[in-house]
Amino acid sequence: MSRQVITETVSDKEGGVRLDRWVKRRMPMTQGELEKLLRTGQIRVDGARAKANTRLEAGMAVRLPPFQSKVAKDSDAPWSAPAKPNAKALAFLKPLILHEDDEMFVLNKPAGIAVQGGTGQGGRHIDGMLDALSDGEHRPRLVHRLDKATSGLLLIAKHPAAASRLGDLFHSRDMDKIYWAVTVGVPHPPAGQLRSWMRKGVGEEGRERMVMGAHGDRISKHAITDYVTVSTAARRAAWVALKPSTGRMHQLRFHMHELGTSILGDDKYETRREVPLGVAKGLHLHARALVIPRKSGKPLTVQAPLSGTMKQTFETLGFLESEAGRDPLDLF
């Protein structure tokens, strides 16, 4: 840590990042320590006092004082320098890349691998391998999450400015997200919009899951999903396209269960309907498409081809990807 005051200019790759995150990359510390430095004016932006949530712009000058945290941990620095790339991780991730530009990687995540480590996950996970995709300056960062059992598109930001822009877009309605699912039974009506209040709860088996909430309940979240039935296998199963406007935990799985046609292979939101014979095991939910606004020009559309469980069951039930058309938004 420097023993003198330094002033650093915000780079183009870090424009749009919150001040607290920018500072912690350079000076690992707790949030409380950072807030104190801001209150006392020891950290300044363009010579003026600033708040932790101030959004920095490229070219701004940030004053950093001499400081040594007593309790800071590595996890306090989300954009710390990347570790040495792992050849095995790179060999695993490279074939998954569907798109790359100066802001992002878009991966086609296989079902069965966790996006992040955590309780019950164990083993390798996507986040733990991202050093392999580093440019040597910034460690790539997850923009969003997918359940371990869900396959499909996963958006990775290359640097802090990209994480800020893409994160804001992903959690707004400006970026369209399309998922494909195979349901047990056929939704009725075959297309529509699902709106509900949902919150975390506990199922009959004692596992955490989303349950029906209520308007006005401070812990309930409003969830909105548009859905379209693309094709059916008699009355046994259906291929459904889903377009969420909100991003709640297990939203699509919860909404299909509430409609009475749970997603095939979902052991947390199970259906009482008879499961079709001969289908593959595993959750049949696939993050199919992202339509990502660019800074200029037309939006970027990325689509993830089916693989594994979903591909096998499509072949078994006679569903053809071409039935959905070329533009993923045409269905809606």
pLDDT, mean of residues 14-18: 85
Whether 35 maps to a domain, the answer reads yes
Whether 255 maps to a domain, the answer reads yes
Is there a single domain that holds both residue 220 and residue 317? yes
Cα distance between residue 191 and residue 111, in whole Å = 26
Per the structure, the complete domain to which residue 198 belongs is given by 176-287+313-324
Is there a single domain that holds both residue 180 and residue 165? no
Whether 34 maps to a domain, the answer reads yes
Question: Range with the lowest mean pLDDT among 15-29, 39-53, 167-181, 253-267?
Answer: 15-29
Is there a single domain that holds both residue 165 and residue 186? no
pLDDT, residue 135, reads 82
Q: Please state the domain count of the chain.
A: 3
Neighbours of 255 (CB within 10 A): 25
Is there a single domain that holds both residue 243 and residue 191? yes
Whether 292 maps to a domain, the answer reads no
Is there a single domain that holds both residue 99 and residue 58? no
- In the structure, what pLDDT confidence band is assigned to residue 81 with cuts at 50, 70 and 90? low
96 φ/ψ angles, rounded to the nearest 5 degrees: -85, -15
pLDDT, residue 264, reads 96
147 φ/ψ angles, rounded to the nearest 5 degrees: -60, 150
Whether 148 maps to a domain, the answer reads yes
Classify residue 27 by burial, with Cβ atoms within 10 Å: 0-12, 13-18, 19+. Answer: buried
Q: What is the CATH classification number for the domain harbouring 218?
A: 3.30.2350.10
pTM of the model: 0.79
pLDDT, residue 119, reads 57
Is there a single domain that holds both residue 188 and residue 317? yes
Is there a single domain that holds both residue 113 and residue 158? yes
Q: Is 147 a catalytic residue?
A: yes
Whether 76 maps to a domain, the answer reads no
Write down the catalytic residue from 20, 76, 127, 147: 147
244 contact partners, CB below 8 Å, separation of at least 6 = 177, 179, 223, 224, 225, 226, 251, 252
Whether 299 maps to a domain, the answer reads no
Is there a single domain that holds both residue 15 and residue 62? yes
Is there a single domain that holds both residue 157 and residue 253? no
Is there a single domain that holds both residue 137 and residue 274? no
How far from each other are the two terminal CA atoms of the chain, in whole angstroms?
A: 54
In terms of average pLDDT, the best of 87-91, 149-153, 218-222, 294-298 is 149-153
Of 143, 170, 197, the last residue of a domain is 170
- In the structure, what pLDDT confidence band is assigned to residue 74 with cuts at 50, 70 and 90? very low
90: closest CA among 126, 123, 56, 119? Answer: 126
Peptide bond into 189 cis (omega under 30): yes
pLDDT, residue 106, reads 98
Q: What is the CATH classification number for the domain harbouring 39?
A: 3.10.290.10
Cα distance between residue 102 and residue 158, in whole Å = 7
Is there a single domain that holds both residue 208 and residue 318? yes
pLDDT, mean of residues 79-97: 79
pLDDT, residue 296, reads 87
Is there a single domain that holds both residue 100 and residue 149? yes
Residue 52 has pLDDT above 60, yes or no: yes
pLDDT, residue 208, reads 84
- In the structure, what pLDDT confidence band is assigned to residue 120 with cuts at 50, 70 and 90? low
pLDDT, mean of residues 214-220: 90
Residue 184 has pLDDT above 90, yes or no: yes
Whether 294 maps to a domain, the answer reads no
